[in-house]
Structure 1
Amino acid sequence: MRFGPGFNALLTAVVDASDIPAADREQALAELHTALAKAPGVASVGQPVPNKDSTVVAIPVIPSTGPDDPATSDLVHHLRENKAGIAHAGGTLYIAGSTAAAIDVSAKLSDALPLFIGVIVALALVLLTVAFRSVLVPLKAVLGFLLSIAASLGATVWVFQDGHLADLLDVSSAGPITAFLPVLLIGVLFGLAMDYEVFLVSRMREHYEHTHTRDAAQAITHGMASSGRAITAAALIMVAVFGGFAFNHDPIIKSIGFAFAIGVLIDAFLVRMTLVPAAMALLGRHAWHLPHQLDRITPHVDIEGTNLPHPATDIGKTNTTPPSPQEPRTPAPAAHRD
């Protein structure tokens, strides 16, 4: 018996024949069987397997390509075009099986991914604009996040899909990454990236607002000195945790751990600790500029405490220290008279 690459990509054509007249069912299923067998990319079609009353029939279909091959996805869509023929006889055709389900899930996630990224980017722009009262700082933060996502996914595809460094990471075979990895990576990495961004930039903003000179370069130095060590320690912990999963035997867990570790490593050390201070230095005072019209409609969220009253100076202060209790005086002895 010969096994081809499509042996692990078994598809199942399920026909709901309850509305097909009993006298016409055999002919309708025979025509469907012939149409499925003639489809390009089909290696073989098994015999129909009906249920007890022949109202539901399952027909196994073995493609000539593997489950991860794009041609298999095209075949699933092509087989579903036979719905019209069986529907004319009164039946309903479904192309099912684990391979077809994985293809459908991947298509749904791919369609939802642009909207998912758009919502995240829009929320980040709005919230960071309110927090830092700036336009360029939120744009810089979002562009850095998108760079981290692109670099992480690119590295994951380079290793697990193209097969580079397969021996080092013990990757048994190269293949497409799992469909839900981009969605999961975007959600987790977005939270970590924005945490690092807020830690770093808020210290810069605080120093910039609280000093009379408003020296942008000095604010960058203060922000790096105040938050750099905390961001570095937090990033190293996350890289160690995620990197441990990269040596798991399961290829899905291995790819997820690798993508997360690379994403945090790039975002923390390349984007937040290198590109963000460089961009802030190039922007200077313009980094904290908010257009007048936008400033009027943006809520004032005083994170740095700029509007808090300053402590009063010692001049003109009244002494509120309670007087120390005086010791009772001893009465002077009376003068002696002769």
Structure 2
Amino acid sequence: MEREINVPEASVAPGLCRKCKKPYKPLRDGMCQPCYRRAKKYGSAIYIREEVEDVTVEWVRGKCTQKGDCLVWEGTTGKEGRPQTSDRRSYREEGKTLQIALHRWMYEKATGETLRKGQHVRQTCGNKLCLAAGHLKASVPRQGRTPLGDAGQYKGKREDHLERCANGHERTEENTYRDAHGRLACRECVSHAQAARQGKGPDEHQWKPRKSWENTPECPNGHTFAEVGWYDNGETRICKRCFAEKERKRWLRVNYNMTPEDFEALLVAQDLACAICSRSFDPETLPPCVDHSHVTGLVRGLLCQRCNLGLGHFGDATDRLRSAVRYLEIAEQREPQDSSGVTSPS
């Protein structure tokens, strides 16, 4: 063991630590910050390392204090305040300083089992410094996926993920694509996940490769792409008519809380005509518009485009509409007419 040598302060150059003679600033009591901390904590500014032949259970217990049922560690701790020590044998033989997590080390020595990588040991008593074997409990290891290892760590080559997915499906051009984040995704895994959400097993819902564009002249609903057209989303073709019908259903549901069946029932109840002007609807020239209250949101009926715009311009105000009717009636009475019944120009 090294002995501390007290050096007179007068023999130390100004700005140098009186213990280690290094130019550290700021100085406290003539010492640099590391020496001051050691002197305040251990009573000596010189670090004395205890030489240990090997870390044993008896040596660890000797560094602990019995407080009730807890075996409290009084040695060094890590950043999280958990007991740890260094492996002196590895330092002597290999020149490497390895830190030993004493919670894990004591649990393995007490139970005789080797914990997997990724498993943690916690204290049931709530004291971080406790090393009592009865207060240590290991976590349940995470189950790995094929071709992963026991603890979920990838054991193969780093290039293997280009040949197989995490669940072992072979990557081909048909079942592999790039997701929104640019990562490789497996269509079989996505299909199995969708089946699991529906309560089905992977055997009940098998993934099938998509047909090429040349082999699919029609959409799943029977519309011919050459007649109705299509959109290209980079992977397949989307039928324009099916897309328009899907958007129409979404528009009725989001804006009016209606289904296509509700729309058809209201159209039949109005005899396929506008509820105001009674003109028959034509899907190409006079499509029906859904009229609803902007206050309550309830649907009032189906109108033609002119009547719907007229109500919108008047702000659905009945007093303004009555005033407009009176205005037109008075204007008709004031207009001079000739003998043929045609209004004369002014």
TM-score by length of structure 2 reads 0.21
TM-score by length of structure 1 reads 0.22
Q: Which has the higher helix share?
A: 1
The structure whose RCO (Cα within 8 Å, separation 6+) is larger is 1
Q: Which has the higher strand share?
A: 2
